[in-house]
Amino acid sequence: MAVPLFDPAAPLAPLDAELRAAVSGVLDAKQYILGPNVTAFEEEFAALHGVPHAVGVANGTEAITIALRALGVGPGDEVVVPSFTFYASAEAIPPTGATPVFCDIDPETYLVTADAVKAVLTPKTKAVVVVHLFGNVAPVDEIAALGVPVVEDAAQATGSKTTDGRLTGALGTIGTFSFYPSKNLGCFGDGGAITTSDDALAERVRSLRFHGSRDKVTYEEVGYNSRLDELQAAVLRVQLPHLHAWCDRRRQVGSWYVEAGLGEHVDLPVPAVGADPAWNLYVIGHDRADALHTALTDAGIGARSYYRQPVHEQVAMTPWRTDAPLSGTARAAARHLALPMGPALTRAQVDEVVAAVADARLD
Ligand SMILES: *Cc1c(COP(=O)(O)O)cnc(C)c1O
């Protein structure tokens, strides 16, 4: 039986009637922009994270740009970002006028570390974009202790937390989320949010998402048209009460992979110290990752290498390319491969994936 890499529709099937009712409700209310569902979702998302403020925005990429702008990042500033991440983590920086400065990662956790950030800090560093890649939880406390504001890119880590129960997006100065359909909390299109405990930052984010205006008649700074829309907010409100259960299922699937002996064949993803990841992608390491990918595809098992070419080597990043060797990045880029993950995956499917990996006989 084929096992898909992910299947965002499967966990939503039991909520079908509720989702349709929520969409109908918006059509009936005929209020599509910054209406009651956006306000309610912002309150519910903030409460879930134990922070006073959540602000809905159009997507997870603009969430990062707006978070940086709210922090005062602009021309002449540097923003540190890992190179092993989805391209958008870095792409969001140049629109602020600042320079992206690429740092390395730990190839075991796929995460940026305090040492990696420290190695590239300069007096011009105005912020660090810390990515909770694949749902793992980066060491925000250690990085914040370096004395620079932390923007948490939690796009892949909605519902991930520390072992002492703090959710990603509530660990740093400001957190950014994506609700792209394949994320841990996905809507029916594009959507995003920004979380913070800082009242002034939240107010600036609210202004920036609406053209740099607080009252919608006077414009204080050049901003963005970047709002979460009412339909997406209504859909997200139906799903939000299920987020923790879905994330626990992602954790369970991760433990099944371990129990089923996947670690005998490949390098398993390693939770960072103090992390309780809700895996968005289950990413293993292998010296012959592409050969394994081919073998799994032949066996009907979904697999994918997301970041073979790290961000600092992408053509668009040429102006900011680093000469410093990023050895952890190079290793992860060459060896990573995502295996099936999601809240609807069964133990039988996990066993099937592990059997197919064993059958590939690449060890
Ligand atoms: C998905 C993602 C983003 C961008 O989110 P969009 O909503 O697609 O704009 C940013 N960073 C990371 C790490 C992502 O995975």
**Contact criterion met (CB below 8 Å) for 60 and 192:** yes
Longest dimension (CA), the chain: 66
Q: Is the pLDDT of residue 324 over 90?
A: no
> The domain containing residue 87 runs over which residues?
10-240
**Both tokens assigned to 212:** 């740099």
Q: Is the CB of 96 under 6 A from ligand 1?
A: no
CA 322 to chain centre: 24
Point out the domain boundary residue: 184, 219, 240: 240
Q: Answer yes or no: do 101 and 178 share one domain.
A: yes
Question: How far does the centroid of ligand 1 lie from the alpha carbon of residue 163, in Å?
Answer: 24
Final residue before a domain boundary, out of 240, 259, 282: 240
Of 240, 263, 286, which closes a domain?
Answer: 240
Q: Which atom of ligand 1 is nearest to the CA of 192?
A: 7
Nearest alpha carbon, ligand 1 atom 2? 155
What stretches of the chain show up as alpha helix (H) in DSSP?
Answer: 16-29, 36-49, 60-70, 88-91, 114-118, 140-144, 199-209, 230-239, 243-259, 289-298, 327-335, 347-359
For residue 2, being part of any structural domain is answered with no
What confidence tens digit (pLDDT) does each residue in 41-72 have? 999 999 999 999 999 999 999 999 999 999 99
How many angstroms does the Cα of residue 88 sit away from the middle of ligand 1? 6
Q: For ligand 1, is residue 152 a contact (CB within 6 Å)? A: no
Mutate to test the pocket of ligand 1, among 84, 86, 131, 190 (most ligand atoms within 8 A of CB): 86
Is residue 98 located within the same domain as residue 114? yes
pLDDT at 348: 98
CA 100, CA 55: separation in Å to the nearest integer?
25
98-148 pLDDT tens trace: 999 999 999 999 999 999 999 999 999 999 999 999 999 999 999 999 999
CATH of the domain at 300: 3.90.1150.10
Domain count along the chain: 2
Q: Which of 228, 258, 187 is nearest to 58 (CA)?
A: 228
Find out whether the beta carbon of 93 lies less than 6 Å from any atom of ligand 1.
no
The pLDDT score that the predictor gives to residue 322 is: 86
The arithmetic mean of pLDDT across residues 157-179, rounded, is 98
pTM: 0.98
Percent of the chain with pLDDT over 90: 98
State whether 146 and 252 are in the same domain: no
How many other CB atoms are found less than 10 A from the CB of residue 342? 23
pLDDT tops 90 at residue 328: yes
